[in-house]
Structure formats: structure tokens, C-alpha cells
Amino acid sequence: MTILQAIKAWGAALMALAVSVTAAAAVEAVATTWLNVRSGPGGGFAVVTTLAPDTLVNVTECQDNGWCYVEHTGPSGWVSSTYLAAPTTGGGGGSSNPDCKMSLTLGPSGPSLSLVCGDGSVTLPLPGTTPPEPPPPPVGDQACFYTDPNYAGQEFCYGVGTLNSLNATFNNKISSVKISGAARARLCDNTNLGGPCYTVTADTALLAAAANDKASSLAVHTGNWLEVVPLPLPPVLPLLPVTHSSGLIDLNQTFSVNLDNGSIGSAGADIWYQAVTATQKYITPRNGAQLALGDGSNRGYAGCRVASFNAAQIPLGAIPVGTYVCVKTSEGRTSQFRLNGYAGTTMKLGYTTWTN
């Protein structure tokens, strides 16, 4: 029989033993000294009998504390596995292969059953015992966050990535951090990784005052943190003026002109050449238009667009020849006219009105 066949045979036998907890499910062992048999799995239980050295017993169950339940010709009970050994001959399980034998091993974690064939051995679970738990899988690159110092309180773990905001349980409440793998944690005071930020590169039982109970967003990363520097916005180019209407106007006393189209006396007039007396004359805005005399200079579209307008009339004496006046027309356009001169009482104007 090969060792693989022997393993299969013993595995099948152990499965059968696990189904029926009887004397057939036992593994033979011998006492190595005078050994008390107790009513329970521990030294605090009553002694029911004592085994002589080399007494053969059947081990049917073992606890994690190293105590095993044994059956023999006298009262059965619990003994410490420290004082049990595998029989030197015969006993718990020969094999159809003379090169294979079963061995009971008593170690710090309790007894185990080994099938030894030639130079190799395979350890099988002892009936009535629980195989050891497999080791947990390795933890990757992640960080765990705690609301209290020393990794206590509410906990959550996060792999490589970004949380632009934290929920109410953790917002402004993180006090300690555990780091796994090559992870690093970046804690920021504001959402979206804004405000002052603090980097954690190792387990930290209590965050520094600059970061303790202050994080509103975080990122878990590996390597150095690369700041994302926003590109500067392109400069705002000035709006290029587009002329809507332009020309020369001869404006008689008491007449009005529409600077949106240069028409005299039409509806929607913007300025009125008002003559109260022969010497008391004004430029008066109409239909919601507004005027801005300013310093009377040529301000063009850029200057008139930001001028301080009002609905007050301007005395003609304040507008000598060569003066420019900005106008916000009744249709909301920016306009400017210049007093070029007079022909009698008729004003000679030049104007430009822009679309935007």
C-alpha cells in the first residue's frame, strides 16, 4: 500500500469513527506514570480511579486544555494528556502495510494522531477534537480608523481610495489609526480633502492634537501623496465691443433722439434737448434711459460700460463743445455721444451705441 492509499484508508476510518462515538472510535494510549482519572476535564474535578504505569486506555475525546476522556476496564474519566503516550507495540491501529503505523503525539496544543509510513508522516485529527483554525488571510494595504484612543470605540477599515466626506459616526471623531501593508492615511479637516491635512504612516494609538477629532475626509494611499494642483484659470479676456448703431445727429431744441437707432422724435427716445428758457437748457434722459457725465472724457465702450449712471438731467452749461456723455439706453445698451458744436440752437452730435 502506498502512503497515499494509507492516508485514504486512515481518513475513511477516522470519518467512520467520527460518525459513531464508541470504543471503536478511540485511539489507544498508555499511562506513563501513576495517573489520576477524574470526573471532569481538569485538576479540580474528583478522582474516580488511578491508572498504573503502562495501563492501556482508549482515548475517545480531548479538550483544548489538554485533558482527554479515556475508557478502560475500570471507571472511565478524564486524564491529563501530558501523562499519556502511544503504545510501543500493537494498539490503536495497525495498517495493512507493515511499513505504516499510527502514532499518538501529545503536544502543547493537545493530542494528535499521525500516520507514519516509511520516512513520511501525515497528521490526522483525533476523533472528538477540533482541527486548528487555518491562519487568517493576509491583510492588504488598508487603514482602520477608531473613534477612541488605543484603537477602541467605533471602527471601520478602508482600502486604497478616497472618502470625500465622513458619516456622522466618524466625522470629527477619529482618534486612533491602524495601518496595514504599505498603506498610508491622509486625514483632512474639511470635506473633499480640503483644509489642513495630516498623514499617518504607522499605527497611532492617539493622533496628534492637530488631527485628533478633526477629520472630515480621508484618503488611503501607498507611496508619497501626490498633491493635485489645480491649473490656473485662463485670464478673462475683455469683451470686444460690437457696434449696434453709430452716426451723426442734428438735434433741434425740444426734440428727442433714440440712440439705439439714431432716429429723431421716434418712440423709445433716450435723450431730450429740453429748453425751459432761452438760457435754461438741459439734456434730459427719457423712457428709463440714464446718463453719466463723469469727467467728460472719451471713455469708449470699456469706460461707459462701468460708469455710474443716474436719471438726473445735465445742464447744457456743463457740456461744453468736445464733451463726451455716456448713456444707458432705454433698451439697456451702452452708448456714448459727443457734443461736436452748434448750428444756431441745433446741437451737432456724434454717437456710438454698442450691442453688448
Query: At residue 229, what is the residue type?
Result: V
Give the residue-averaged pLDDT of 272-292.
94
The yes-or-no verdict on residue 317 having pLDDT over 70 is yes
Question: Average pLDDT for residues 221-240, to the nearest whole number?
Answer: 74
Under 8 Å between Cβ of 63 and 41: yes
Residue 21 has pLDDT above 80, yes or no: no
- For residue 107, the model assigns a pLDDT of 54
For the segment 311-339, the average pLDDT, to the nearest whole number, is 95
**58-67, 99-108, 180-189, 277-286: which range is least confident on average?**
99-108
Q: Which of 6-20, 35-49, 105-119 has the lowest mean pLDDT?
A: 6-20
Q: Which domains does the chain have, with CATH numbers?
A: 3-124 (2.30.30.40), 142-222 (2.60.20.10), 243-354 (no CATH)
Asked if 325 contacts 335 with a C-beta cutoff of 8 angstroms, the reply is no
* 63: pLDDT strictly greater than 90: no
pLDDT grade, residue 169 (50/70/90)? very high
Check residue 274 and give its pLDDT.
93
Q: Which residues of 92-119 are buried (b: 16+ CB within 10 A; e: fewer)?
A: bbebeeeebbbbbebeeebbbbbbbbee
pLDDT-derived band at 5 (thresholds 50, 70, 90) equals low
- Percent with pLDDT over 90 in the chain: 61
- Residue 333 banded pLDDT, cuts 50, 70, 90: very high
Handedness of CA 304, 307, 312, 316 (dihedral sign): negative
| Set of cell numbers at residue 208 | 496628534
pTM: 0.37
Per-residue pLDDT tens over the stretch 291-316: 999 999 999 999 999 999 999 999 99
Predicted confidence band at 96 (pLDDT cuts at 50, 70, 90)? very low
Task: Spell 125-153 as b/e; 16+ CB within 10 A means b.
Answer: ebbbbeeeeeeeeeeeebbbbbbeeebeb
From 172, 176, 143, 169, select the one nearest 158 (Cα to Cα): 143
pLDDT of residue 335: 96
| CA 104 and chain centroid, separation | 53
- Reply yes or no on whether the pLDDT at 241 is more than 70: yes
Q: Is 313 exposed, middle or buried (0-12, 13-18, 19+ CB in 10 A)?
A: middle
Q: Say how many CA atoms lie within 13 Å of 313 toward its Cβ.
A: 15
For the ranges 104-118, 144-158, 303-317, which has the lowest average pLDDT? 104-118
Q: How confident is the model at residue 123 (pLDDT cuts 50, 70, 90)?
A: low
Report d(CA 174, CA 2) in Å as an integer.
60
pLDDT band of 235, cuts 50, 70, 90 = confident
